[in-house]
Amino acid sequence: MAYELYYWPGIQGRGEFIRLALEEAGADYIDTARKPESEGDGATAITAFLEREDIACPPFAPPFLRDGSIVVGQTANILLYLGPRLGLAPSDEVKRLWVHQIQLTIADVVGEAHDTHHPISGELYYEDQKAEAMRRAGHFRQDRIPKYFAWFERILARNPIDSGLLTGATVTYADLSLFQLVDGLLYAFPRRMRQVLPEVPRIAALHHTIAQRPRIRAYLASNRRTPFNEQGIFRHYPELDG
């Protein structure tokens, strides 16, 4: 039975981290909210599901994944569930938790990237918090990107197998997510990233390597890959790029 992914249509958002794992694995999945509304799906399927009163374990928000009767929410948790099933996580418990730890740290950066354009509230338009966004984005560019990237570069260097991947010799969902983080930041902060990436050659190489994997390359070239835009997490507002 196909996995069913529930995430807002029209943006990559947090759903994209799940999509990349499903695509890399060649998994059979339905991107529920991207089916035409005429088929009774689309964004209404998400809200309708979240409002159902017969779900014992209702997720707080999208993305969530249905696998038969199982419902799993929270991006990193979905990847924790999918990892071993898709061959994108180690079988050893401690190694699996290391991959998950990396994923949770990527999630922290993603949350901070979101808050560069919404530092006050997700309920307000960007234009209504632009002054605060300028300030927060400055600190994100100058302090946070280098700090996080130094850590990713360090753990890439410390992988004892020196595979160019974050852990072990084979791709995990964390590698795919780090690709997506870099890709999103390149879209949102191209000027800053041109300064940062040459300082972290292992991250830059990983970004390139993942983009060239056959299934990822096919996915990125397909219409299943929604272009980055200014409704998603990674938004290009030139004034926030310094």
How many CB atoms within 10 Å of residue 193? 19
Of the candidate residues 35, 42, 66, 81, the single one contacting a copy of itself (CB under 8 A): 81
Q: Is residue 230 classed as helix, strand or coil in its secondary structure?
A: coil
Question: How long, in residues, is the chain?
Answer: 242
Please list, residue by residue across 100-109, b when 16 or more beta carbons sit within 10 angstroms of its beta carbon and e when fewer do: bebbebbbeb
Least distance from a copy of itself to the Cβ atom of residue 157, Å: 10
Least distance from a copy of itself to the Cβ atom of residue 75, Å: 9
Residue type, 230: E
Dist CA 189 CA 175 (whole Å): 21
The two structure tokens encoding residue 145: 């990107």
197 and 203 Cβ atoms separated by less than 8 Å: yes
Location of structure tokens 């069913």: 4
| β 3-6/29-31 pair status | parallel
Binding window for a copy of itself (CB under 8 A); candidates: 17-25, 155-163, 209-217, 220-228: 155-163
Q: Helix (H) and strand (E) counts for the chain? A: 10, 4
* 202-206-212 Cα angle (round to 5): 145
Binding window for a copy of itself (CB under 8 A); candidates: 8-16, 154-162, 188-196, 231-239: 154-162
Nearer to a copy of itself, 100 or 235 (CB): 100
Least distance from a copy of itself to the Cβ atom of residue 236, Å: 21
Of the candidate residues 30, 66, 74, 164, the single one contacting a copy of itself (CB under 8 A): 74
Of the candidate residues 10, 26, 40, 111, the single one contacting a copy of itself (CB under 8 A): 111
How many CB atoms within 10 Å of residue 123? 7
Residues 128-147 that bind a copy of itself (CB under 8 A): 129, 132, 135-136, 139, 143
Of the candidate residues 5, 20, 72, 178, the single one contacting a copy of itself (CB under 8 A): 72
Least distance from a copy of itself to the Cβ atom of residue 30, Å: 20
Q: Is 73 in the site for a copy of itself (CB under 8 A)?
A: yes
The two structure tokens encoding residue 52: 């159902």
Q: Is 121 in the site for a copy of itself (CB under 8 A)?
A: yes
Location of structure tokens 């000027």: 191
Q: Is 100 in the site for a copy of itself (CB under 8 A)?
A: yes
Site residues for a copy of itself per CB under 8 A: 55-60, 70, 72-74, 76-77, 80-81, 94, 97-98, 100-101, 104-105, 108, 111, 115, 119-121, 123-124, 129, 132, 135-136, 139, 143, 148, 151, 154-155, 158-160
